Amino acid sequence: MTAKILLPGKLTTGANGVRGESYSNGLKYATAIARAGGVVNTVAPLQEHLAHVTNLVSSSDGVLIQGGGDIDPSRYGETKRTDTVYGIVPIHDEFETAVVQEAVRLDKPVLAICRGIQVLNVALGGTLHQDLGDVLPNRESHWDTYHPIHLETGSRIAAAMATRSPDRSHSFHHQALKDVATDLVVTARAPDGVIEAVEHRHCTWVVGVQWHPEDDAGESQTQQSLFDAFVAQC
């Protein structure tokens, strides 16, 4: 059977070949899932769809949460403290949060990438560093760069990627996890201490990563193997 992966879409203004407003997802995510033998089903982030989240998640084999703009700090009990917070779209926050919470409740496999790991953490009660400049000397040290990542022995992600030091890990973020949700455990960090992966303590396979494995999955089997393991779980 082909695994059907629910991927909440993003509102966008850049689509061609459609009439009027549009929504989309990142092609690299769908391609990595396709290489693993799955298929992505994109659902528009609409207020009307919130009433159908249970059916959407239960009828899917797994959930993928992609990257994107920042989460509204009010969702983790803070006010916006810096002008570097950008790209807040309330319905993205609301819909993705609802999808993640339902996936966890139903114990569906989840792969949450970049913004996705942040959505996962906030949805389960954690908080974020609004900007890495709050905790690092160079606020852009994780912005469009490659750096080492250390995976914890015995973690789901280390098993999936068959290594504790994945190659070609592309970072493209200015926020990161701060207070980790009680039901999550840290399974990877960068050399500077920034959290790079978490897993759910009780669910069968719920994994969040801060970097972008989809960016290099076409050339790096190490990065593709994360999607392979996710789809296999689905």
- Dump pLDDT digits (tens) for 76-86: 999 998 889 99
pLDDT reading at 13 higher than 90: no
Predicted local confidence at residue 213, as pLDDT: 98
Predicted local confidence at residue 21, as pLDDT: 87
Distance CA 196, CA 229 (A): 18
Average of per-residue pLDDT values in the chain: 96
Catalytic residue among 114, 173, 174, 203: 114
> What is the model's pTM?
0.97
Distance CA 40, CA 202 (A): 25
pLDDT reading at 16 higher than 90: no
For the chain, what are the domain ranges?
4-233
Average pLDDT value for residue range 32-58: 98
Q: Is 199 a catalytic residue?
A: no
Per-residue pLDDT band for 14 (boundaries 50, 70, 90) equals confident
Please name the residue that has the structure tokens 């560093």.
129
CB 169 within 8 A of CB 206: no
Please name the residue that has the structure tokens 């750096």.
147
Q: Is 102 a catalytic residue?
A: no
Q: Is 234 a catalytic residue?
A: no
Architecture of domain 4-233: 3-Layer(aba) Sandwich (3.40)
φ/ψ (deg, to 5) at 134: -70, -25
Predicted local confidence at residue 159, as pLDDT: 98
Q: What stretches of the chain adopt beta strand conformation (E)?
A: 4-8, 10-12, 22-24, 39-43, 62-65, 110-113, 128-129, 145-146, 150-151, 170-171, 176-177, 184-189, 195-200, 206-209
Catalytic residue among 173, 203, 212, 234: 212
Catalytic residue among 96, 102, 196, 214: 214
Distance CA 86, CA 178 (A): 18
Predicted local confidence at residue 109, as pLDDT: 98
Torsion of CA 147, 195, 157, 229, to 10 degrees: -80
